[in-house]
Amino acid sequence: MAQARLIALDWGSTRLRAFLLGDGGEVLATRQSNDGAATLSGADAYAGALADLVGDWRADHPGIRLLACGMVGSQYGWREAAYVRCPADAAALADQLLQVDGALSIVPGLVDDAAQPDVMRGEETQIVGALALRPELADDALLVLPGTHSKWARVKDGRVTGFATHMTGELFALLRQHSVLNRLMPADGSSPASPEAFLKGVDAAREEGGLAHQLFAVRTLGLFKQLGAEQLPDYLSGLLIGHEIASELRAVTPARIALVGDPALCARYAQALVHLGQPEPLLLDNTAPAGLWALAQTMNLT
């Protein structure tokens, strides 16, 4: 087996992902479990989840260090790591690593408190990874990390100068599953994608009237059969993503935009951005392993 140098842990609310990284930070092996931070309580539970997933890696590579990012460092996590204030770069994050024990450290989150405070945990590491993989982004870029709580981070001269969270993914799930809009829709996951309905939703988001009003149209467009039942989830998705994009691009005109994360979701955002007149954005898959490697290098953990 190639020389293993670091166990990188992307430990979010719903999942724990582990990456065994080699000499140049290359991924030698990957594993994941459903032991997300939201399902665990107390240090023993975290230690147990970690042993279950990567105990044998640690046994095979005595003395190997572990670096974790994400909700594992929240106030409900294993231990609470700091929030580093924006503007911040990789060195500022590395400075505030929380040492859990001799082997394991947790990356701090970021806070933007220029206006009402906004926070991230996990995405700061993905941003470090994106900048390590694509140094041309460091000058001036907008990094978008879509998800349950999407993050829009402004990067300038290698530092995150500020960011905003949008609860877009969570709103979609709530409305899809629990609201009156659910009634006219097919069961979750059973409908083929409708790019046409998605873009119709993106267009609707540009109109006046407010989101809480436009959401009701998901119901009426179904009621009056102007959209098929199977198109309604994509229309809803377009409406929410369209609002998110419009809010952000009202404030900033970035030199370039990069989308980081789940490829299918990033493709959806890219489609909306291009539809709204933006150039084709750069697409990056999960950059957490690259970010953890870069932070570990900064601190000579490997």
Q: What residues from 64 to 83 belong to the interface with a copy of itself (CB under 8 A)?
A: 75
- Measured from the CB atom, the residue of 179 and 191 that comes closer to a copy of itself is 179
Q: What residues from 125 to 154 belong to the interface with a copy of itself (CB under 8 A)?
A: 149
Cβ at position 30, least distance to a copy of itself in Å: 28
Spell 154-169 as b/e; 16+ CB within 10 A means b: bbeeebbebbbbbebb
Q: Taking CB under 8 A as the rule, does residue 121 contact a copy of itself?
A: no
**Cis status, amide bond into 186, omega within 30 of 0:** no
Contact by Cβ (8 Å): 148, 170: yes
Cβ at position 121, least distance to a copy of itself in Å: 11
Q: Taking CB under 8 A as the rule, does residue 103 contact a copy of itself?
A: no
Q: Which DSSP letter does residue 73 get?
A: G
Q: Taking CB under 8 A as the rule, does residue 257 contact a copy of itself?
A: no
Amino acid 34 reads N
CA torsion 258-259-261-264 (nearest 10°) is: -140
| Radius of gyration of the chain measured on its C-alpha atoms | 20
In 3D space, the residue among 299, 263, 249 whose CA is nearest the CA of residue 95 turns out to be 299
Q: What residues from 165 to 224 belong to the interface with a copy of itself (CB under 8 A)?
A: 165-168, 170-171, 174-175, 178-180, 204, 207-217, 220-221, 223-224
In 3D space, the residue among 84, 94, 89, 77 whose CA is nearest the CA of residue 42 turns out to be 77
Residues binding a copy of itself: what is the number (CB under 8 A)?
45
Q: Taking CB under 8 A as the rule, does residue 110 contact a copy of itself?
A: no
Distance CA 184, CA 180 (A): 8
Q: Taking CB under 8 A as the rule, does residue 263 contact a copy of itself?
A: no
Contact by Cβ (8 Å): 111, 234: no
Could you count the other beta carbons within 10 Å of the beta carbon of residue 20? Answer: 23
Cβ at position 177, least distance to a copy of itself in Å: 9
Q: Taking CB under 8 A as the rule, does residue 253 contact a copy of itself?
A: no
Q: Taking CB under 8 A as the rule, does residue 41 contact a copy of itself?
A: no
- Measured from the CB atom, the residue of 116 and 253 that comes closer to a copy of itself is 116
The C-alpha angle with vertex 115 and arms to 201 and 245, in degrees rounded to 5, equals 15
Cβ at position 273, least distance to a copy of itself in Å: 16
Tokens representing residue 147 in the block = 């998800």
- Measured from the CB atom, the residue of 167 and 265 that comes closer to a copy of itself is 167
Sites of contact with a copy of itself (CB under 8 A): 75, 113, 115-119, 149, 164-168, 170-171, 174-175, 178-180, 204, 207-217, 220-221, 223-224, 226, 240, 243-244, 246-248, 250-251
